[in-house]
Structure 1
Amino acid sequence: MQFFGIGIHIIIAIFFAVHAVRTQREMVWLLVLFLFPLLGSIVYFVAVFLPSMRLDHSAAKAGRALQAGLDPGREVREAQRAFELTPTAHNQMRLASALLETGQAAKAAEQYDACLQGPFARDAELRLGAAHARLAGGNAAGAIALLEALAAEQPNFRPEQVGILLGQAYAAAGRQDEAGAQFAAAAQRFGSLEARAELAIWALANGKPQVAEPELQEIERTRKHMPAHSRTLNRELFRRVDAARAQAR
């Protein structure tokens, strides 16, 4: 495919070259991109561009956490004001999310449930947020109903998040075999720190050290080599793992 006589692979290479210059990468990347535009773009995307996007996401998450620490009620106030001025479904979902972030699960669930009665009732983000609120508020059965329907209808929507949350809901409802299956599937498919941690925590709580041990070893290896800011972002997850390990001893 060509645009204005220029191959699409050249356009992609130019895009990555601009990114390399703006982010002050080594100039050898420009040589790679223009000598081997297709292969060079693939290598640059995997080696530089994608990791930088993840870092930006982590930085944004850290920024939100810092803001919440300085003024924990700010987002709730702003979301409440926006909803009062313009009572749209979008603003109501923003209010529900803000309430959930500040630990007001019952109020968040009320807002989410109201949204579920409207025209966006099938929206995946809405149902995921509502499931979070229901589970945080102690309504595991309600969370399971939402998540099972969401996973069945939209299996490609955030499968890791949906699977882990469904596992947590199963565990809270006492359906331990189903919880373990969800956590194991997430850990095997995605291999993320969160998935491994949830599987390890579940296994320790259910007397399955042989399941927990490989995950704990991988978690410790990741923690050892993780940058300080990443350890800070995952502090609560590590705290839960350490608490589960201490309780199992």
Structure 2
Amino acid sequence: MQIFGIGIHIIVAIFFAIHAVRNHREMYWLLVLFLFPLLGSIVYFFAVFLPSSRFDQSAARAGRALQASLDPGREVRDAQRAFELTPTAHNQMRLAQALLETGQAAKASEQYDACLQGPFARDAELRLGAARARLAGGNVQGSIALLEALAAEQPGFRTEQVGILLGQAYAAAGRQDEAGAQFAAAAHRFGSLEARAELAIWALANGKPQVAEPELEEIERTRKHMPGHSRKLNAELFRRVDAARAQAR
């Protein structure tokens, strides 16, 4: 099939090439996409595009939540076993993520910091995970340093997630104006439940009800029409919003 005389597989390859450039992916992807447009596009979709998409993130989060409810320690055990058998950077990152998701921030940070000394030190996913672990473990300045560098060097990488986490880190450091700017930018650009909730929580905590109210209205509208399983998945976020609203009264 052709559009304007150009094969659809070429158009798809061009789309993924633009995505690769905008997100500062390795330049060998351009070679793969243009030398093998059909096969290269398929590989890029599953290896890069899908893992970075919001749908994939939501599905992965739901899957992890289900697994955690059935066997809370399984992923940590599996990741630990995999790392002991094959001590690669990939397996160490998997272990760090598993530790972080089970609330073991200090141990997770140790694993992430070890990865940051290796050949994947500039990997965006690694740096984002390390920043999360540092913030959860109380190393606020270390988290800010990683996030500011990541945002400057790879501005197209998970802009919403990086902005929200940076806002949380700024808030924890007492840099409230910068925190509010990050939350507002994420909420206005993406309009997601998480971004709106973070902006509302920050605004309520800082005596800015005029900023919080529009976000709270939209959050309640979303919660009202959200399926039951989605409400369960976002239960902690809703709990934080309700607690912030109660505290502000």
TM range (shorter): 0.7 to 0.9
Look up the match of 1:200.
200
Report how far residue 71 of structure 1 moved: 1.1
Q: Mean alpha-carbon deviation: is it higher for 61-70 or for 182-191?
A: 61-70
Report how far residue 8 of structure 1 moved: 2.5
Which of the pair has the greater relative contact order for Cα pairs under 8 Å at 6+ separation? 2
| Distance in 1 of aligned mates of 2:54 and 2:128 | 22
Report how far residue 63 of structure 1 moved: 3.0
Q: Mean alpha-carbon deviation: is it higher for 59-68 or for 81-90?
A: 59-68
Look up the match of 1:157.
157
| Distance in 2 of aligned mates of 1:138 and 1:56 | 29
- Map 1:100-119 to 2 at 5 A: 100-119=100-119
Report how far residue 230 of structure 1 moved: 1.1
- Map 1:89-238 to 2 at 5 A: 89-238=89-238
Report how far residue 246 of structure 1 moved: 0.2
Report how far residue 154 of structure 1 moved: 0.2
The amino acid that maps onto 1:100 is: L
| 1:56-109 deviation line (CA, Å, top 9, x unaligned) | 764553332121112111111111111111111011000000000100000000
Q: Mean alpha-carbon deviation: is it higher for 104-113 or for 217-226?
A: 217-226
Unmatched runs of 5 consecutive residues or more in structure 1: 13-52
The amino acid that maps onto 1:168 is: Q
SS across alignment from 2:108: helix
> When the two structures are aligned, how many residues end up with a matched partner?
208
Look up the match of 1:78.
78
Percentage of matched positions with identical amino acids: 90
Look up the match of 1:241.
241
Report how far residue 7 of structure 1 moved: 5.2
1:217 to 1:125, Cα distance in 2 relative to 1, 3 A: same
The amino acid that maps onto 1:78 is: D
The amino acid that maps onto 1:159 is: T
- RMSD in angstroms over aligned alpha carbons? 2.4
Taking structure 2 as the reference length, what is the TM-score of the superposition? 0.78
The amino acid that maps onto 2:246 is: A
- Map 1:10-29 to 2 at 5 A: none
Unmatched runs of 5 consecutive residues or more in structure 2: 13-52
1:165 to 1:60, Cα distance in 2 relative to 1, 3 A: closer
| Distance in 2 of aligned mates of 1:119 and 1:58 | 29
The amino acid that maps onto 1:153 is: E
Q: Mean alpha-carbon deviation: is it higher for 148-157 or for 62-71?
A: 62-71
Report how far residue 118 of structure 1 moved: 0.6
Report how far residue 54 of structure 1 moved: 6.9
| Distance in 1 of aligned mates of 2:57 and 2:122 | 27
Look up the match of 2:15.
none
Report how far residue 216 of structure 1 moved: 0.4
